[in-house]
Amino acid sequence: MPRFAANLTMMFGELPFLDRFAAAADAGFRAVEFLFPYDHPAEVIRKVADSAGVRIVLFNLPPGDWTGGERGIAAFPERADEFSRALALGLDYARVLSVPRLHLMAGIAPSQSAPHRDRYRDAIVEAAERAGPFGIDILLEPLNGRDMPGYLLSDFAMAKDLITGLGLPNVKLQFDIYHRQIMHGDVTEALRTLLPITGHVQTASVPGRNEPGTGELDDARIFGVLDEIGYQGHVGCEYRPLFATGEGLGWFAPWRE
């Protein structure tokens, strides 16, 4: 049976961030994820998560100036030192929060030029080497160009080539079903073929990015495929609720833990 993690950046947005952990637990989730924890001390988040009885399974490394439109700094050669400092901060949080995986965002690069691609590759290697001793995986997530124009990693084939080419055991794919469908389609076959390099799966309906079951895909069938192929990880619910989060959790009833 798939194990779902509530994305606390998108879900339960009617509550302050620290209150969302208990709300997720009350709704039946035993795991959570979110984009960024850095507005709160790691020790405070750990206490809140432990009190709620939920495990944190994923968050993102610092992305640069998020409010200013940045979506990662890994691909910029001139920001290598800044990236190293951001990586250190993310790893500090991950260790306190006992989080087993971190999403490394590439960035919105002005071109697909060799310097940006090479620097991105170097950043992945640095992150993997520094995270490895702590048992932390580094995840690469292709993002669709409709939602995020200019994002460097906008193709699943590129992600696969990076991961297999590097051959680092703690560099894995973050397979977002929503982004996959918009970019390439062929979701279930891609899940089957990419399972060996997949470290985390996320879901949302297409095209609205709302609750599973409200879009063009048979989300329940896809969740069944995850069982068929033996996926053992969590499925992050990175969707925007159409109304208050609790009103749209009917889809979750068959899998509520």
Q: Which residues are catalytic?
A: 141, 238
Residue 31: strand, helix, or coil: strand
Burial 133-143 (b: 16+ CB within 10 A, else e): eeebbbbbbbb
Q: What does each C-alpha distance from 84 to 63, 80, 107, 151, 173 come to in angstroms?
A: 12, 6, 15, 20, 21
Nearest to 4 by CA among 189, 172, 204: 204
Query: For tokens 């990880």, what's the residue?
Result: 233
Cβ contact 203:177 at 8 Å: yes
Structure tokens at 172: 């894995």
**Token pair listed for 145:** 């160009």
Q: Are 139 and 174 spatial neighbours (Cβ–Cβ below 8 Å)?
A: yes
Tokens of residue 252, six digits: 């979750």
Question: d(Cα 239, Cα 204) in Å, to the nearest integer?
Answer: 5
**Angle of the 156-166 helix axis to the 187-194 helix axis, nearest 10:** 0
Distance, CA of 47 to CA of 97 (rounded, Å): 9
